[in-house]
A and B are shown apart, each in its own frame.
Chain A
Amino acid sequence: QELLLAECLGKHPLQNRWALWFFKNDKSKMWQANLRLVTKFSTVEDFWALYSHIQPASKLTSGCDYSLFKDGIEPMWEDSQNKCGGRWLITLAKQQRHTELDRFWLDTLLCLIGEMFDEHSDEVCGAVINIRAKGDKIAIWTREAENQQGVTHIGRVYKEHLGLSQKVVIGYQAHADTATKSGSLAKTKFVV
C-alpha cells in the first residue's frame, strides 16, 4: 500500500539540482582531498530523504563543514561561478550550537531549494556551514559581489527567514577580500 501511495503521489521537482558536500579536516591530507561529494538531489522528497539520514550539523565534530551547492558549482572560491562572488555570513556564539544552529542551517537549505529569493535566486551558488570550536558559521554564497541590488535583496530575505531581529546586522564579504585577509579582518561590503 505504501509503495502504491508513493507511486501515486509523484515527486515535486526543484528548480535546480543540488549537491551536498562534506568536509572533514584531516591535516595529513590536502584541503581538496578532505572535501567529498555526498550526493545530489532534485526533488523535495529526495531532499528530505537525504536530510533525515545525515548527522545534524550540531553533532559534527569541529573542523567539519556541510556545503549545499547547485550542481556544477564546487564549494570553493576558485570555482569560476564563485570567484567574483561573496557570502552573507552568519556568525554564531558558542552556545547557539545547541539552541539555533540546526534550525538556522535547515532554514538556509529551505531558502535555497525553495528558490525563495524571487528574481534574484539565480544569483545564489550555495551555502556552507562551518563547525568550529571558536564559533560556528553559516553563509549563503552568491555569484557576483558587485550586484548590489541582487545581493542586498538576498540578504534581506535571508535575514527575515532566519527570524533575526531588525537590530541584528549581518554582513556580506566578497570572496576576493576574504581570500586575501585573515578571517574576521575581511572587509564587509554590504550590511542588512
Chain B
Amino acid sequence: EKKRYDREFLLGFQFIFASM
C-alpha cells in the first residue's frame, strides 16, 4: 500500500520536531 499523507497530517508534525 502506498504511503500517502495529506497536508494537515504532515503539518501536524511541524512544531513537535521544530522544538526538539
Contact = CB atoms under 8 A, between A and B. Distances in A.
Q: Do A and B come from one complex?
A: yes
Interface of A: 2, 6, 12-15, 44-45, 47-49, 51-52, 107, 110, 113-116, 121, 161
Interface residues of B, number: 15
Given A110-B10, A110-B11, A48 B5 contact: no
Interface string B1-20: 01111110111011011101
A48 B4 contact: no
B14 A115 contact: no
A15 B18 contact: no
B10 A113 contact: yes
B7 to A, nearest CB: 5
Contact of A48 (B3, B7, B9, B13): B13
Contact of A49 (B4, B9, B10, B20): B20
Contacts of B2: 15, 115, 121
B6 A48 contact: no
Contacts of A110: 7, 10-11
